[in-house]
Protein backbone atom coordinates (compact mmCIF):
# COMPACT_ATOMS: atom_id res chain seq x y z
CA UNK A 1 0.00 0.00 0.00
CA UNK A 2 2.85 2.39 0.81
CA UNK A 3 4.49 1.55 -2.53
CA UNK A 4 1.28 2.29 -4.43
CA UNK A 5 0.76 5.59 -2.58
CA UNK A 6 4.37 6.56 -3.31
CA UNK A 7 3.90 5.59 -6.97
CA UNK A 8 0.76 7.69 -7.35
CA UNK A 9 2.38 10.67 -5.64
CA UNK A 10 5.55 10.31 -7.70
CA UNK A 11 3.60 10.00 -10.92
CA UNK A 12 1.66 13.19 -10.20
CA UNK A 13 4.81 15.08 -9.22
CA UNK A 14 6.67 13.90 -12.31
CA UNK A 15 3.77 14.98 -14.50
CA UNK A 16 3.60 18.39 -12.83
CA UNK A 17 7.37 18.81 -12.95
CA UNK A 18 7.58 17.78 -16.60
CA UNK A 19 4.60 19.96 -17.47
CA UNK A 20 6.12 22.93 -15.62
CA UNK A 21 9.50 22.70 -17.34
CA UNK A 22 7.96 21.97 -20.72
CA UNK A 23 5.59 24.93 -20.39
CA UNK A 24 8.41 27.14 -19.11
CA UNK A 25 10.66 26.26 -22.03
CA UNK A 26 7.75 26.58 -24.47
CA UNK A 27 6.72 30.01 -23.16
CA UNK A 28 10.31 31.26 -23.05
CA UNK A 29 11.01 30.08 -26.60
CA UNK A 30 7.67 31.44 -27.81
CA UNK A 31 8.20 34.93 -26.41
CA UNK A 32 11.81 35.03 -27.56
CA UNK A 33 10.66 34.03 -31.05
CA UNK A 34 7.80 36.54 -31.02
CA UNK A 35 10.11 39.29 -29.80
CA UNK A 36 12.70 38.34 -32.40
CA UNK A 37 10.08 38.46 -35.15
CA UNK A 38 8.75 41.82 -33.97
CA UNK A 39 12.27 43.19 -33.57
CA UNK A 40 13.08 42.18 -37.13
CA UNK A 41 9.88 43.76 -38.42
CA UNK A 42 10.56 46.96 -36.49
CA UNK A 43 14.13 46.98 -37.79
CA UNK A 44 12.85 46.55 -41.33
CA UNK A 45 10.38 49.39 -40.78
CA UNK A 46 13.04 51.74 -39.43
CA UNK A 47 15.50 50.72 -42.16
CA UNK A 48 12.91 51.34 -44.91
CA UNK A 49 11.96 54.64 -43.31
CA UNK A 50 15.51 55.93 -43.26
CA UNK A 51 16.17 54.78 -46.80
CA UNK A 52 13.14 56.81 -47.86
CA UNK A 53 14.42 59.77 -45.86
CA UNK A 54 17.83 59.45 -47.50
CA UNK A 55 16.23 59.31 -50.97
CA UNK A 56 14.19 62.41 -50.12
CA UNK A 57 17.37 64.34 -49.29
CA UNK A 58 19.11 63.04 -52.42
CA UNK A 59 16.21 64.15 -54.60
CA UNK A 60 16.33 67.59 -52.98
CA UNK A 61 20.05 68.04 -53.64
CA UNK A 62 19.54 66.82 -57.21
CA UNK A 63 16.72 69.32 -57.74
CA UNK A 64 18.79 72.21 -56.38
CA UNK A 65 21.80 71.19 -58.51
CA UNK A 66 19.64 71.11 -61.63
CA UNK A 67 18.09 74.51 -60.83
CA UNK A 68 21.02 76.82 -60.03
CA UNK A 69 18.99 79.99 -60.70
CA UNK A 70 16.71 79.50 -57.68
CA UNK A 71 16.81 82.33 -55.18
CA UNK A 72 17.16 81.80 -51.44
CA UNK A 73 13.47 82.57 -51.05
CA UNK A 74 12.53 79.95 -53.65
CA UNK A 75 14.79 77.38 -51.98
CA UNK A 76 13.17 78.26 -48.65
CA UNK A 77 9.73 77.63 -50.17
CA UNK A 78 10.93 74.32 -51.62
CA UNK A 79 12.26 73.18 -48.23
CA UNK A 80 8.99 74.19 -46.54
CA UNK A 81 6.98 72.28 -49.14
CA UNK A 82 9.18 69.17 -48.85
CA UNK A 83 9.05 69.17 -45.05
CA UNK A 84 5.27 69.54 -44.94
CA UNK A 85 4.66 66.89 -47.59
CA UNK A 86 7.10 64.18 -46.45
CA UNK A 87 6.91 64.82 -42.67
CA UNK A 88 10.18 62.89 -42.39
CA UNK A 89 12.09 65.64 -40.58
CA UNK A 90 11.30 68.18 -37.90
CA UNK A 91 13.40 70.66 -39.84
CA UNK A 92 15.21 70.88 -43.20
CA UNK A 93 18.26 73.09 -43.60
CA UNK A 94 20.57 74.35 -46.35
CA UNK A 95 23.94 75.11 -44.80
CA UNK A 96 26.51 76.38 -47.31
CA UNK A 97 30.13 75.37 -47.51
CA UNK A 98 31.19 78.09 -45.04
CA UNK A 99 28.81 76.84 -42.35
CA UNK A 100 26.25 79.61 -42.89
CA UNK A 101 22.59 78.61 -42.47
CA UNK A 102 21.17 79.91 -45.78
CA UNK A 103 17.64 78.50 -45.43
CA UNK A 104 15.78 76.46 -42.82
CA UNK A 105 12.26 75.06 -42.67
CA UNK A 106 10.43 75.94 -40.55
CA UNK A 107 11.80 79.47 -40.46
CA UNK A 108 10.60 79.69 -36.85
CA UNK A 109 13.66 77.68 -35.75
CA UNK A 110 15.33 81.07 -35.82
CA UNK A 111 18.89 80.22 -36.85
CA UNK A 112 18.79 81.41 -40.49
CA UNK A 113 21.85 83.56 -41.10
CA UNK A 114 23.83 81.99 -38.25
CA UNK A 115 27.04 80.06 -38.61
CA UNK A 116 27.02 76.51 -37.30
CA UNK A 117 29.67 74.97 -35.05
CA UNK A 118 30.54 71.70 -33.37
CA UNK A 119 29.18 68.48 -34.84
CA UNK A 120 27.06 70.33 -37.40
CA UNK A 121 30.17 72.09 -38.75
CA UNK A 122 31.99 68.71 -38.86
CA UNK A 123 29.17 67.35 -41.02
CA UNK A 124 29.51 70.34 -43.41
CA UNK A 125 33.27 69.89 -43.62
CA UNK A 126 32.96 66.13 -44.24
CA UNK A 127 31.40 66.68 -47.70
CA UNK A 128 29.72 63.27 -47.67
CA UNK A 129 26.38 61.71 -46.69
CA UNK A 130 26.16 61.33 -42.93
CA UNK A 131 23.85 60.29 -40.11
CA UNK A 132 25.07 61.72 -36.81
CA UNK A 133 24.90 60.37 -33.32
CA UNK A 134 22.46 62.21 -31.01
CA UNK A 135 23.88 65.59 -29.99
CA UNK A 136 22.76 68.91 -28.56
CA UNK A 137 22.26 71.43 -31.37
CA UNK A 138 22.70 75.19 -31.10
CA UNK A 139 18.94 75.54 -30.66
CA UNK A 140 19.17 73.60 -27.39
CA UNK A 141 17.47 70.54 -28.84
CA UNK A 142 18.72 66.95 -28.75
CA UNK A 143 18.77 65.97 -32.45
CA UNK A 144 19.93 63.44 -35.00
CA UNK A 145 21.06 64.97 -38.28
CA UNK A 146 20.91 63.22 -41.68
CA UNK A 147 22.73 65.08 -44.44
CA UNK A 148 23.51 64.97 -48.16
CA UNK A 149 26.28 67.03 -49.81
CA UNK A 150 25.12 69.65 -52.32
CA UNK A 151 27.13 70.29 -55.49
CA UNK A 152 26.24 72.75 -58.25
CA UNK A 153 26.12 71.83 -61.94
CA UNK A 154 29.85 72.54 -62.27
CA UNK A 155 30.79 70.22 -59.42
CA UNK A 156 31.49 72.92 -56.85
CA UNK A 157 30.65 72.05 -53.26
CA UNK A 158 27.78 74.21 -52.00
CA UNK A 159 27.29 72.77 -48.54
CA UNK A 160 24.69 70.28 -47.28
CA UNK A 161 20.97 69.68 -47.20
CA UNK A 162 20.30 68.40 -43.70
CA UNK A 163 17.21 66.89 -42.12
CA UNK A 164 16.92 66.99 -38.33
CA UNK A 165 14.93 64.71 -36.03
CA UNK A 166 14.11 66.33 -32.66
CA UNK A 167 14.36 63.45 -30.22
CA UNK A 168 12.43 65.10 -27.37
CA UNK A 169 9.62 66.35 -29.60
CA UNK A 170 7.05 64.69 -31.83
CA UNK A 171 8.99 63.17 -34.74
CA UNK A 172 8.82 60.54 -37.46
CA UNK A 173 9.97 57.79 -35.06
CA UNK A 174 7.05 58.59 -32.75
CA UNK A 175 4.61 58.44 -35.66
CA UNK A 176 5.96 55.17 -37.04
CA UNK A 177 6.74 53.32 -33.78
CA UNK A 178 4.77 55.09 -31.08
CA UNK A 179 1.38 53.37 -31.25
CA UNK A 180 0.59 50.92 -28.42
CA UNK A 181 4.25 50.25 -27.76
CA UNK A 182 3.58 48.69 -24.35
CA UNK A 183 1.53 45.50 -24.68
CA UNK A 184 -0.79 44.13 -22.01
CA UNK A 185 1.87 41.58 -21.09
CA UNK A 186 4.39 44.37 -20.45
CA UNK A 187 6.31 43.89 -23.71
CA UNK A 188 7.80 47.01 -25.27
CA UNK A 189 10.53 48.07 -27.65
CA UNK A 190 13.11 50.82 -27.89
CA UNK A 191 15.76 52.15 -30.28
CA UNK A 192 19.37 52.94 -29.37
CA UNK A 193 22.02 54.85 -31.28
CA UNK A 194 25.64 53.89 -32.00
CA UNK A 195 26.82 54.84 -28.48
CA UNK A 196 23.93 53.15 -26.70
CA UNK A 197 21.99 56.42 -26.43
CA UNK A 198 18.21 56.00 -26.41
CA UNK A 199 16.59 57.42 -29.55
CA UNK A 200 13.11 56.03 -28.88
CA UNK A 201 11.62 54.65 -25.66
CA UNK A 202 8.15 54.28 -24.07
CA UNK A 203 9.38 56.52 -21.27
CA UNK A 204 9.98 59.71 -23.26
CA UNK A 205 11.99 61.26 -20.44
CA UNK A 206 14.68 58.60 -21.04
CA UNK A 207 15.23 59.59 -24.71
CA UNK A 208 18.75 60.91 -25.06
CA UNK A 209 20.07 58.99 -22.04
CA UNK A 210 22.84 56.43 -22.30
CA UNK A 211 21.87 52.86 -21.41
CA UNK A 212 24.17 51.37 -18.78
CA UNK A 213 24.15 47.95 -17.20
CA UNK A 214 22.21 46.25 -20.00
CA UNK A 215 24.35 43.39 -21.40
CA UNK A 216 22.86 43.53 -24.91
CA UNK A 217 23.72 47.19 -25.54
CA UNK A 218 27.49 46.53 -25.96
CA UNK A 219 26.60 43.72 -28.37
CA UNK A 220 24.42 46.08 -30.42
CA UNK A 221 27.18 48.69 -30.45
CA UNK A 222 29.50 45.97 -31.82
CA UNK A 223 26.99 45.21 -34.60
CA UNK A 224 25.49 41.99 -33.21
CA UNK A 225 21.88 40.75 -33.34
CA UNK A 226 20.32 38.00 -31.25
CA UNK A 227 17.93 37.07 -28.47
CA UNK A 228 18.51 36.11 -24.84
CA UNK A 229 17.30 36.31 -21.25
CA UNK A 230 18.81 39.34 -19.52
CA UNK A 231 18.51 41.84 -16.67
CA UNK A 232 17.96 45.32 -18.12
CA UNK A 233 19.47 48.56 -16.84
CA UNK A 234 16.71 48.84 -14.23
CA UNK A 235 17.36 45.33 -12.89
CA UNK A 236 14.22 43.81 -14.42
CA UNK A 237 14.63 40.33 -15.91
CA UNK A 238 13.56 40.33 -19.55
CA UNK A 239 13.25 38.04 -22.58
CA UNK A 240 14.90 40.31 -25.14
CA UNK A 241 15.49 40.17 -28.88
CA UNK A 242 17.69 42.74 -30.58
CA UNK A 243 18.51 43.67 -34.18
CA UNK A 244 21.39 45.77 -35.46
CA UNK A 245 20.82 48.15 -38.39
CA UNK A 246 24.18 48.23 -40.10
CA UNK A 247 23.47 51.18 -42.40
CA UNK A 248 22.61 53.52 -39.50
CA UNK A 249 24.48 51.85 -36.65
CA UNK A 250 21.26 51.76 -34.65
CA UNK A 251 19.73 48.90 -32.69
CA UNK A 252 16.11 47.87 -32.11
CA UNK A 253 15.26 45.94 -28.92
CA UNK A 254 11.95 44.16 -28.19
CA UNK A 255 11.53 42.62 -24.74
CA UNK A 256 8.99 40.95 -22.46
CA UNK A 257 9.20 40.82 -18.64
CA UNK A 258 10.05 37.36 -17.30
CA UNK A 259 7.58 38.07 -14.49
CA UNK A 260 4.73 37.83 -17.02
CA UNK A 261 5.95 34.40 -18.16
CA UNK A 262 6.31 33.32 -14.53
CA UNK A 263 2.74 34.45 -13.91
CA UNK A 264 1.50 32.33 -16.78
CA UNK A 265 3.49 29.38 -15.44
CA UNK A 266 1.97 29.85 -11.99
CA UNK A 267 -1.52 29.97 -13.49
CA UNK A 268 -0.75 26.87 -15.55
CA UNK A 269 0.36 24.89 -12.49
CA UNK A 270 -2.67 26.06 -10.51
CA UNK A 271 -4.98 24.89 -13.28
CA UNK A 272 -3.18 21.57 -13.42
CA UNK A 273 -3.50 21.16 -9.69
CA UNK A 274 -7.22 21.91 -9.86
CA UNK A 275 -7.64 19.43 -12.70
CA UNK A 276 -5.66 16.70 -10.94
CA UNK A 277 -6.93 17.20 -7.40
CA UNK A 278 -10.22 15.29 -7.54
CA UNK A 279 -8.96 12.39 -9.75
CA UNK A 280 -5.91 12.12 -7.53
CA UNK A 281 -8.01 11.68 -4.37
CA UNK A 282 -10.20 9.06 -6.05
CA UNK A 283 -7.17 7.28 -7.42
CA UNK A 284 -5.49 7.29 -4.01
CA UNK A 285 -8.54 5.83 -2.28
CA UNK A 286 -8.88 3.08 -4.88
CA UNK A 287 -5.17 2.37 -4.61
CA UNK A 288 -5.40 1.93 -0.84
CA UNK A 289 -8.31 -0.51 -1.18
CA UNK A 290 -7.09 -2.48 -4.15
CA UNK A 291 -3.33 -2.16 -3.87
CA UNK A 292 -2.24 -5.50 -5.14
CA UNK A 293 -4.84 -5.83 -7.88
CA UNK A 294 -4.27 -2.30 -9.15
CA UNK A 295 -0.47 -2.36 -8.97
CA UNK A 296 0.32 -3.53 -12.47
CA UNK A 297 -1.94 -1.23 -14.55
CA UNK A 298 -0.92 1.86 -12.62
CA UNK A 299 2.76 1.00 -12.80
CA UNK A 300 2.37 0.67 -16.56
CA UNK A 301 0.70 4.05 -16.71
CA UNK A 302 3.47 5.57 -14.56
CA UNK A 303 6.06 4.29 -17.00
CA UNK A 304 4.25 6.05 -19.83
CA UNK A 305 3.87 9.30 -17.87
CA UNK A 306 7.61 9.26 -17.14
CA UNK A 307 8.19 9.62 -20.87
CA UNK A 308 6.82 13.19 -20.68
CA UNK A 309 10.08 14.29 -19.11
CA UNK A 310 12.19 13.08 -22.05
CA UNK A 311 12.66 14.20 -25.65
CA UNK A 312 11.74 10.77 -26.97
CA UNK A 313 8.49 10.21 -28.83
CA UNK A 314 5.78 9.16 -26.36
CA UNK A 315 4.44 5.69 -27.07
CA UNK A 316 0.79 5.34 -26.01
CA UNK A 317 0.03 2.33 -23.79
CA UNK A 318 -1.56 -0.76 -25.31
CA UNK A 319 -5.15 -0.87 -24.08
CA UNK A 320 -6.07 -4.11 -22.35
CA UNK A 321 -9.50 -4.29 -20.76
CA UNK A 322 -9.25 -4.45 -16.98
CA UNK A 323 -11.84 -5.29 -14.37
CA UNK A 324 -11.11 -2.00 -12.62
CA UNK A 325 -12.96 0.86 -14.33
CA UNK A 326 -10.52 3.57 -13.19
CA UNK A 327 -7.59 1.72 -14.75
CA UNK A 328 -9.48 1.47 -18.04
CA UNK A 329 -10.50 5.14 -17.98
CA UNK A 330 -7.00 6.37 -17.16
CA UNK A 331 -5.49 4.24 -19.90
CA UNK A 332 -8.02 5.48 -22.48
CA UNK A 333 -7.60 9.12 -21.35
CA UNK A 334 -3.83 8.90 -21.55
CA UNK A 335 -4.04 7.42 -25.04
CA UNK A 336 -6.36 10.25 -26.14
CA UNK A 337 -4.08 12.86 -24.53
CA UNK A 338 -0.96 11.47 -26.23
CA UNK A 339 -2.77 11.34 -29.57
CA UNK A 340 -3.92 14.94 -29.07
CA UNK A 341 -0.36 16.03 -28.29
CA UNK A 342 0.93 14.23 -31.37
CA UNK A 343 -1.79 15.79 -33.52
CA UNK A 344 -1.01 19.26 -32.15
CA UNK A 345 2.70 18.74 -32.74
CA UNK A 346 2.01 17.66 -36.33
CA UNK A 347 -0.20 20.71 -36.83
CA UNK A 348 2.50 23.01 -35.44
CA UNK A 349 5.09 21.42 -37.72
CA UNK A 350 2.79 21.98 -40.71
CA UNK A 351 2.20 25.60 -39.71
CA UNK A 352 5.96 26.08 -39.31
CA UNK A 353 6.39 25.04 -42.95
CA UNK A 354 3.62 27.31 -44.32
CA UNK A 355 3.94 30.96 -45.31
CA UNK A 356 1.27 32.90 -43.41
CA UNK A 357 0.72 35.54 -46.12
CA UNK A 358 0.34 33.44 -49.29
CA UNK A 359 -0.55 30.07 -47.82
CA UNK A 360 2.31 28.52 -49.81
CA UNK A 361 4.82 26.14 -48.31
CA UNK A 362 7.92 27.97 -47.10
CA UNK A 363 11.65 27.48 -47.47
CA UNK A 364 11.79 24.78 -44.79
CA UNK A 365 9.26 22.64 -46.69
CA UNK A 366 11.13 23.31 -49.95
CA UNK A 367 14.41 22.09 -48.47
CA UNK A 368 12.68 18.97 -47.20
CA UNK A 369 11.12 18.22 -50.61
CA UNK A 370 14.38 18.84 -52.47
CA UNK A 371 16.36 16.69 -50.04
CA UNK A 372 13.96 13.81 -50.57
CA UNK A 373 14.26 14.10 -54.38
CA UNK A 374 18.05 14.43 -54.18
CA UNK A 375 18.36 11.39 -51.90
CA UNK A 376 16.34 9.36 -54.44
CA UNK A 377 18.61 10.70 -57.22
CA UNK A 378 15.49 11.86 -59.04
CA UNK A 379 15.80 14.37 -61.87
CA UNK A 380 14.15 17.75 -61.16
CA UNK A 381 14.42 21.40 -62.12
CA UNK A 382 14.32 24.49 -59.97
CA UNK A 383 12.77 27.78 -61.14
CA UNK A 384 13.58 30.89 -59.09
CA UNK A 385 10.97 33.63 -59.57
CA UNK A 386 11.32 37.25 -58.52
CA UNK A 387 8.85 40.12 -58.98
CA UNK A 388 10.45 42.93 -60.97
CA UNK A 389 10.72 46.28 -59.19
CA UNK A 390 8.71 45.05 -56.24
CA UNK A 391 10.15 47.78 -54.02
CA UNK A 392 8.55 50.40 -56.26
CA UNK A 393 5.19 48.69 -55.78
CA UNK A 394 5.61 48.96 -51.99
CA UNK A 395 6.84 52.55 -52.25
CA UNK A 396 4.13 53.69 -54.67
CA UNK A 397 1.14 51.69 -53.49
CA UNK A 398 2.01 50.71 -49.92
CA UNK A 399 2.97 47.44 -48.26
CA UNK A 400 -0.64 46.23 -48.07
CA UNK A 401 -0.87 46.45 -51.86
CA UNK A 402 2.52 44.74 -52.04
CA UNK A 403 1.07 41.86 -50.01
CA UNK A 404 -1.87 41.64 -52.44
CA UNK A 405 0.57 41.44 -55.35
CA UNK A 406 2.40 38.56 -53.64
CA UNK A 407 -0.92 36.73 -53.15
CA UNK A 408 -1.88 37.46 -56.74
CA UNK A 409 1.36 35.93 -58.02
CA UNK A 410 0.87 32.88 -55.79
CA UNK A 411 -2.69 32.31 -57.05
CA UNK A 412 -1.77 32.85 -60.69
CA UNK A 413 1.17 30.44 -60.64
CA UNK A 414 -0.79 27.82 -58.70
CA UNK A 415 -3.65 27.93 -61.20
CA UNK A 416 -1.22 27.32 -64.07
CA UNK A 417 1.17 24.77 -62.55
CA UNK A 418 1.05 21.03 -63.19
CA UNK A 419 -0.11 18.39 -60.77
CA UNK A 420 2.88 17.12 -58.82
CA UNK A 421 4.82 20.40 -59.07
CA UNK A 422 5.59 22.34 -55.91
CA UNK A 423 5.39 26.11 -55.43
CA UNK A 424 7.08 27.76 -52.45
CA UNK A 425 7.67 31.24 -51.08
CA UNK A 426 11.44 31.51 -50.65
CA UNK A 427 11.42 34.90 -48.97
CA UNK A 428 10.33 38.49 -49.69
CA UNK A 429 9.22 38.71 -53.31
CA UNK A 430 11.16 35.60 -54.39
CA UNK A 431 9.42 32.28 -55.06
CA UNK A 432 10.60 28.80 -56.07
CA UNK A 433 8.84 26.38 -58.46
CA UNK A 434 10.00 22.76 -58.02
CA UNK A 435 9.44 20.54 -61.07
CA UNK A 436 10.07 16.80 -60.49
CA UNK A 437 11.02 14.67 -63.51
CA UNK A 438 11.53 17.81 -65.56
CA UNK A 439 14.61 18.82 -67.52
CA UNK A 440 15.68 22.43 -67.74
CA UNK A 441 14.60 22.72 -71.39
CA UNK A 442 11.06 21.70 -70.51
CA UNK A 443 11.22 23.87 -67.39
CA UNK A 444 12.11 26.82 -69.62
CA UNK A 445 8.86 26.39 -71.59
CA UNK A 446 6.87 26.18 -68.36
CA UNK A 447 8.64 29.26 -66.99
CA UNK A 448 7.97 31.23 -70.15
CA UNK A 449 4.32 30.31 -69.99
CA UNK A 450 4.19 31.50 -66.40
CA UNK A 451 6.01 34.71 -67.27
CA UNK A 452 3.76 35.63 -70.21
CA UNK A 453 0.64 34.77 -68.22
CA UNK A 454 1.70 37.11 -65.42
CA UNK A 455 2.70 39.83 -67.88
CA UNK A 456 -0.71 39.65 -69.59
CA UNK A 457 -2.84 39.58 -66.43
CA UNK A 458 -4.03 42.66 -64.58
CA UNK A 459 -2.55 42.67 -61.07
CA UNK A 460 -4.04 44.27 -57.91
CA UNK A 461 -2.22 47.53 -58.73
CA UNK A 462 -4.46 47.92 -61.80
CA UNK A 463 -1.90 46.92 -64.40
CA UNK A 464 0.24 43.87 -65.18
CA UNK A 465 3.45 43.20 -63.33
CA UNK A 466 6.46 41.32 -64.66
CA UNK A 467 8.66 38.62 -63.23
CA UNK A 468 12.21 37.43 -63.88
CA UNK A 469 13.09 33.75 -63.69
CA UNK A 470 16.21 31.61 -63.33
CA UNK A 471 16.45 27.83 -63.87
CA UNK A 472 18.83 25.13 -62.68
CA UNK A 473 18.60 21.35 -63.08
CA UNK A 474 19.50 18.45 -60.80
CA UNK A 475 21.86 16.68 -61.25
CA UNK A 476 22.90 18.22 -64.58
CA UNK A 477 24.03 21.52 -63.09
CA UNK A 478 24.91 20.34 -59.60
CA UNK A 479 24.65 17.38 -57.24
CA UNK A 480 24.19 19.60 -54.19
CA UNK A 481 21.10 21.54 -53.18
CA UNK A 482 23.15 24.54 -52.08
CA UNK A 483 24.76 24.97 -55.51
CA UNK A 484 21.44 24.33 -57.23
CA UNK A 485 19.95 27.26 -55.33
CA UNK A 486 23.01 29.34 -56.12
CA UNK A 487 22.87 28.60 -59.87
CA UNK A 488 19.13 29.28 -60.10
CA UNK A 489 19.67 32.55 -58.27
CA UNK A 490 22.55 33.52 -60.57
CA UNK A 491 20.41 32.73 -63.60
CA UNK A 492 17.67 34.91 -62.08
CA UNK A 493 20.21 37.67 -61.55
CA UNK A 494 21.22 37.37 -65.19
CA UNK A 495 17.57 37.82 -66.20
CA UNK A 496 17.52 40.99 -64.10
CA UNK A 497 20.77 42.22 -65.63
CA UNK A 498 19.46 41.59 -69.16
CA UNK A 499 16.45 43.83 -68.66
CA UNK A 500 14.02 41.82 -66.48
CA UNK A 501 10.80 40.09 -67.61
CA UNK A 502 12.66 37.10 -69.02
CA UNK A 503 13.83 33.58 -68.22
CA UNK A 504 17.45 32.40 -68.05
CA UNK A 505 18.66 28.80 -67.77
CA UNK A 506 21.92 28.37 -65.87
CA UNK A 507 24.85 27.55 -68.16
CA UNK A 508 28.00 26.18 -66.53
CA UNK A 509 31.13 28.04 -67.64
For 106-161, write each residue's pLDDT tens digit: 998 889 999 999 999 999 999 999 988 888 888 888 888 999 999 988 889 999 99
74 is catalytic: no
pLDDT(352) > 70: no
Contact call for residues 467 and 388 (beta carbons, < 8 A)? yes
**High-pLDDT (> 70) share of the chain, %:** 89
| pLDDT band at residue 427 using 50, 70 and 90 as cut-offs | confident
Q: Which residues of 263-277 are buried (b: 16+ CB within 10 A; e: fewer)?
A: eebeebeeebeeeee
Mean pLDDT to the nearest integer, 192-212: 82
- CA distances to 34, 182, 226, 253, 349 from 37, in Å: 5, 16, 11, 11, 18
82-86, 87-91, 310-314, 439-443 — which is least confidently predicted? Answer: 310-314
- pLDDT tens sequence across 312-346: 666 666 656 666 677 777 777 777 777 666 666 65
pLDDT(162) > 70: yes
User: Shortest CA distance to 176 belongs to which of 356, 357, 399, 393?
Assistant: 399
pLDDT at residue 497, as a whole number: 95
**Residue 296 or residue 401, greater confidence:** 401
Q: How far apart are CA 162 and CA 61, in angstroms?
A: 10
Q: What is this structure's pTM?
A: 0.48
Contact call for residues 132 and 122 (beta carbons, < 8 A)? no
Question: β-strand 503-505 against 467-474: which pairing, if any?
Answer: parallel
pLDDT(311) > 60: no
Q: How far apart are CA 10 and CA 18, in angstroms?
A: 12
Q: Cα 53 from chain centroid?
A: 22
**Which one is catalytic: 148, 326, 429, 473?**
429
- pLDDT tens sequence across 448-504: 999 999 999 999 999 999 999 999 999 999 989 999 999 999 999 999 999 999 999
| pLDDT band at residue 222 using 50, 70 and 90 as cut-offs | confident
Amino acid sequence: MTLIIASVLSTSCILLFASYHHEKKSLTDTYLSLNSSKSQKLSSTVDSLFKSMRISLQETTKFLSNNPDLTDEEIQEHLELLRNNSRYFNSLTWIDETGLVRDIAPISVGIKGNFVAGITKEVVDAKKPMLTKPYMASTGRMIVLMSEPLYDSEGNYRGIIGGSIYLHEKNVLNEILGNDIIDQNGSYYYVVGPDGVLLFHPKTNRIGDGVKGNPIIPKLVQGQSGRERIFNSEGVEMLAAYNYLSEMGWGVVQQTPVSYVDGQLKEHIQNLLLIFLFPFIILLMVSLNFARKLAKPFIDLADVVNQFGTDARIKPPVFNSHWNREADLLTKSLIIAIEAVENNNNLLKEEAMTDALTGLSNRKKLNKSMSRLAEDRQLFSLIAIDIDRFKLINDNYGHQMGDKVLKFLARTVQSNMRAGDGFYRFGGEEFILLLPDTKSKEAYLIAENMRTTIANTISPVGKPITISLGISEFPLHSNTIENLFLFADRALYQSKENGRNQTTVWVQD
